[in-house]
Amino acid sequence: MQELSLNVLDVVQNSITAGASRILIEITEDLSANLLKIVIEDNGKGMSPETLRRVNEQFVSSRSTRKVGMGIALFRAAAELAGGSLVVESEEGRGTRVTARFEHDNIDRVPIGEMSETMVLLVMRAAEVDFIYRHCYNGGVYEFSTEQIKQILEDVPIDSYEVLQYIKQETHGGLTELFGGVRDEIS
């Protein structure tokens, strides 16, 4: 995949399919530690110990709609190529946590991508899910929560065009402010 945001999108789609009602996406960039860490944590149905063992194999899927799954394998390959690793933890009935680590300055690290667009796509796909997106950059934090927006909106659907535009602008602006305007979101 050309951007890590696409890996995030794929893993979060699995969380949605697993019945998650709350999904945390946390990206941590610590330049002094040369670390980029992406954590995706959900409260979905989780995986059996056997499925969890098999998830590390390439092209395994727990979905009934298709037998081939490449999402975790591609995410793992991207992390390992950039001097990192990927760990999947899961417990049946409690949810799943995927943690990918990368050497931040590794020449082979794929750019993060457009997380503002990823958040819009996720809300469009699963408006009923509460998404928390937290991005930490050298000690600063930007956080976005659809639960908070839903409380403010009351009867306005979160997946309406106007609200989706707001989500895109809010996340893009928040990330630009977090980075001090020194870089584009895609880095």
Q: What is the mean pLDDT of the segment spanning 78-82? A: 96
pLDDT for the residue 64 = 52
- More confident call, 104 vs 181: 104
Q: What local confidence, expressed as pLDDT, does residue 187 receive?
A: 62
Is residue 118 predicted with pLDDT exceeding 80?
Answer: yes
Q: pTM of the full predicted structure?
A: 0.90
**What average pLDDT does the segment 80-108 reach?**
96
Task: Give all domains of the chain, ordered by start, each with its CATH number.
Answer: 4-178 (3.30.565.10)
Residue 153 backbone phi and psi in degrees, to 5: -70, -30
Give the pLDDT score at 185. Answer: 59
Whole-number pLDDT of residue 57? 64
Q: Is the pLDDT of residue 100 over 90?
A: yes
List, for residues 138-176, the tens digit of each pLDDT value.
999 999 999 999 999 888 999 999 999 999 999 999 999
pLDDT tens string 38-78: 999 999 999 999 888 888 665 444 445 544 457 898 999 99
CA of 81: how far to CAs of 8, 106, 113, 168, in Å? 17, 9, 17, 30
pLDDT band at 2 (very low <50, low <70, confident <90, very high): confident
* Mean pLDDT estimate for the chain: 90
Task: Provide the pLDDT for residue 129.
Answer: 97
pLDDT of residue 51: 87
* pLDDT score of 55: 84
